Amino acid sequence: MRRRATAVAEPRTPAADAAIACDRLVRIFSQDGIEVQALQGLELTVDQGDLMALVGASGSGKSTLLNILAGLDVPTAGSAAVAGYDLLELSARDRLRYRREAVGFVFQQTARNLLPFLTAAQNVALPMQLKGDSPRRGASARRATKVAEILEALGIGELAHRRPAELSGGQQQRVAIAVAMANDPKVLLADEPTGELDSETAAAVFETFRTVNKELGVTVVIVTHDPMVAGEVRRTVAIRDGRTSSEVLRRLVTDEHGEESISEREYVVLDRSGRVQLPPKFLEALGMEHRVAVDLAPDHIELRPDGAH
Ligand SMILES: Nc1ncnc2c1ncn2[C@@H]1O[C@H](COP(=O)(O)OP(=O)(O)OP(=O)(O)O)[C@@H](O)[C@H]1O
């Protein structure tokens, strides 16, 4: 009722329905008296059910952002909400619940995702056990059924009884995705999940992310340097100096002959204060620095080098 009332009372912003909404997110690390601003007012909204890639140079802040979204780290300032949880306001207990139930996480290092002495099925069952539902009759049978269903849905049912050492790197990552899905999270986060894999294996792992996104409706965010992953998703967001700076959106378009193709367009991000980061190659091409002349045309804005007419 209350939700309905507020929905009527307040205009709906895109962030209200978003799976992830970060606003002016700041993370400062202090080490040996030196401060590093890993995130400098980052803004990012991810719609529910989206599959997106996060790219950027080394040190741009990707892992810092992902750790905050995963509930492993806390921002210095700003706001971040994931799956309806306010990440700055979580109590220790709620944070644990958030990490166990609301988000799934896949690390780059295959060994970090799975316990070596457990089979694939046991690894997937573990987060369900840790969730700590009160022991009820038939709970373990229900759990076993659910584990089998997840493994089947991801096309790895035949790996259920193998231990990580008996799996290839790609198979381990696909089992890791199953583990991350164990408690039906709304959001799945992955930090360089294909970083240690050859391109063919990486493609199979990426397909598993796509299955989770398409079949189970989970919002997926993948930090990657892999051009295959970054080029295959609907939306690729680039981070520069701790801020989202640009993004590429891809759409399926059909021409007049019924031929389908992917259309790709790069955008720069416009933040709440009206700031944009222009691509360095554009600025260099026109020798723009310090300031630019800005004019409003009926349907666009013109930027010119200072002094040009
Ligand atoms: N725990 C920490 N203590 C101090 N500085 C840190 C810490 N974690 C990250 N940083 C710094 O914050 C900045 C952003 O780091 P981050 O790991 O988020 O970048 P990244 O984009 O993920 O890089 P990479 O692609 O190399 O993983 C870097 O300058 C890094 O040195």
Determine what percent of the chain is predicted with pLDDT higher than 70: 92
Q: Where are the domains of the chain?
A: 2-268, 278-309
Residues with CB under 6 A from ligand 1: 29, 31, 36, 38, 56, 58-64
Give the distance (Å) from ligand 1 centre to CA of residue 91: 26
Q: What residue owns the CA closest to ligand 1's atom 12?
A: 38
137 pLDDT band (50/70/90 cuts)? low
Give the distance (Å) from ligand 1 centre to CA of residue 168: 29
pLDDT of amino acid 138: 74
259 pLDDT band (50/70/90 cuts)? confident
Query: Which of ligand 1's atoms lies nearest the C-alpha of 65?
Result: 18
pTM of the entire predicted model: 0.87
Q: Does residue 130 register a pLDDT over 60?
A: yes
Q: What residue owns the CA closest to ligand 1's atom 8?
A: 64
Instruction: Give 309 or 168, the one with higher predicted confidence.
Output: 168
In this structure, are residues 214 and 206 in contact, taking their beta carbons and an 8 Å threshold?
A: no
Q: Does residue 11 register a pLDDT over 90?
A: no
As for the ipTM of the complex, it is 0.96
Q: Which segment of 4-8, 60-64, 175-179 scores lowest on mean pLDDT?
A: 4-8
13 pLDDT band (50/70/90 cuts)? very low
**pLDDT, mean of residues 191-203:** 90
Q: What residue owns the CA closest to ligand 1's atom 7?
A: 29
**pLDDT, mean of residues 48-55:** 94
pLDDT of amino acid 6: 37
pLDDT of amino acid 290: 86
**pLDDT, mean of residues 146-157:** 94
Give the distance (Å) from ligand 1 centre to CA of residue 109: 17
pLDDT of amino acid 308: 53
Mutate to test the pocket of ligand 1, among 28, 37, 63 (most ligand atoms within 8 A of CB): 63
Q: What residue owns the CA closest to ligand 1's atom 3?
A: 29
Q: What is the pLDDT of residues 165-182, one digit of tens each?
A: 999 999 999 999 999 999
Q: Which fold has domain 2-268?
A: Rossmann fold (3.40.50)
In this structure, are residues 79 and 22 in contact, taking their beta carbons and an 8 Å threshold?
A: yes
Q: What residue owns the CA closest to ligand 1's atom 24?
A: 58
